[in-house]
Chains A and B, each alone.
Chain A
């Protein structure tokens, strides 16, 4: 649990304009009440199961495991959820909270478009107005998701400032929020932002790890040796990691986007290469220059293209609960191709970063080890990017 002001060690907190501070206290109280309320949990579970399709499978990837030799790989199939990624776990939970608070207008930021789609989906489901902020650069590379959002009735606002990606979409969403604070609920898509979001989103996404733990136990009668998940803001990773974070024998590995390589400067590896800073309401590792200006992140995966990271990941890194590594664009694309060919599963470019770490892990371990990989989303949305890569070859 974070402390009363939302700190995980030195990270986290609530760095917001005064206009928003009171609302965040209200949200914290509201979520605490919901999370203790059996009726809320029952409703949440109902939508997770009947609407989104939980539980997702824990699939033993036999051919991939055989190829890796030293690893027995289980894929947590969040890609099979409605809307194609884990994001809907969070949006379903938060929309129920927003309804209890009487908010009629929902805003969200999105990078890859997956969170935007998941938000547009639940707004359609409950008949609420939905505005999604998206960097114009991301609108170009994730065009299909823009169509999906619009189809479900969301207004997609193109953000032209800064790097025109997720970071700038979040700036713009916060500006909208502070202006329309009375009737608007900001549905943040990851374990970042001001308290209570990192805590709340972790709780809502923990269903991934709780299920995976139970499923793995049924199959293997023990706990896994490794957990691997990609980390942008880090919500799928935190959802998988958190229910295992006290298990001493479970090694937890978060995979950041190393872009063109950590030393190139063009990457999104906030924990591997950033230093503590404050952006979008929380203190966490952050990519910044020598004057404390936030630098532009890069990743081929739009969902990882963010210069910060969830504060609890920074804390996990600092206290050694989890290890964080980097995977380059090229390694991720190769992993996407490999998993498609060997298992018939096309992972999202984001999730491909986690898959790409498996050969490296396989070389590291002694004997046969078990690993759960969070396959956080499916690759359909990335076919434009992949087609370009394939054409270039």
Chain B
């Protein structure tokens, strides 16, 4: 059982929902990411998603695209991010999942990537362009090493497919709140609760909702019918806004605290 599984057991006992914070590793720098992770945990983030930047982030909107670009410009690599996780593990046991596209994983090889991630202290992998049909090799490697492999569901997923995906998923399931790319939306679709409930009836694996969520009100609404809420672009915007300031990590953590505190 890894840190993600333990966290959800603990949250269920306390009848709490998970707040999952996404940031792009290496934006604005790896040192800043290290501080941000620690501070966000203190402010109430239950799980941290670290974005491993990829040159062609086709599932991401403008905010995360820009963050990925900045990070890559600074020379961030998967290897440097794993060293960062190692450093974080000296001071924090917050569950960490890496979110990336399949090419950087495929480049290293499924097994080697999983071994390297596990050894560094990573708990899970989230890969938006890897549907369950293509994930055979990575699933096997992840299972063997107790690394969660998070799969996605969307309102366009058929019931039949949903049944297969929830069986393959571990850690949690990432339900995409809006058809589209990542990024804050003013309004979320009204029928999302129905789709999420359908998934939750099929499985004991926690179902968390992300894409488009940016305000405390949205967090509270979504938490009412899910096991957790994922926020990314809105946090990155806070990082951008405070980019010049040396108090950036605490300012961002304060923002995260405001979102997490409604859960």
Contact = CB atoms under 8 A, between A and B. Distances in A.
Contacts of B131: 14-16, 18, 21
Contacts, number: 114
B106 A276 contact: yes
**Interface-centre pick from B61, B133, B152, B161 (highest chain A CB count, 10 A):** B133
B140 to A, nearest CB: 16
Contacts of A14: 131, 133-134
Interface in B63-97: 65, 69, 72, 77-79
Contacts of A15: 102, 129-131, 134
Interface in B106-131: 106-108, 128-131
B180 A278 contact: no
A5 interface: yes
Interface residues on A, range: 35 or more
Interface string A67-95: 00000000000000000000000000000
Nearest to B133: A5
Nearest to B108: A292
A378 interface: no
B163 interface: no
B129 A17 contact: yes
**Interface-centre pick from A15, A162, A168, A280 (highest chain B CB count, 10 A):** A15
Interface in A1-24: 5, 13-23
B179 interface: yes
B108 A278 contact: no
A371 to B, nearest CB: 37
Contacts of B181: 175, 178-179
A18 B102 contact: no
A173 B103 CA distance: 19
Contacts of A179: 179-181
B54 interface: yes
B128 A17 contact: yes
Interface string A159-180: 0011000011001001100111
Interface string A275-300: 11111110100101001111100000
Interface in A133-190: 161-162, 167-168, 171, 174-175, 178-182
A17 B175 CA distance: 12
Contact of B152 (A17, A175, A278): A17
Nearest to B128: A17
A18 B180 contact: no
A281 B104 CA distance: 14
A293 B18 CA distance: 32
Nearest to B178: A179
A157 to B, nearest CB: 14
A294 B103 contact: yes
A286 B154 contact: no
Interface in A248-281: 275-281
B54 A293 contact: yes
Contacts of B102: 15, 278
B108 to A, nearest CB: 7
Given A17-B128, A277-B106, A292-B78, 15 more contacts: A14-B134, A17-B152, A18-B131, A18-B152, A18-B156, A21-B161, A161-B69, A178-B59, A178-B181, A179-B179, A181-B156, A277-B103, A278-B102, A291-B79, A292-B54
9 contacts: A13-B134, A14-B134, A18-B151, A19-B176, A179-B179, A278-B106, A279-B56, A281-B129, A291-B78
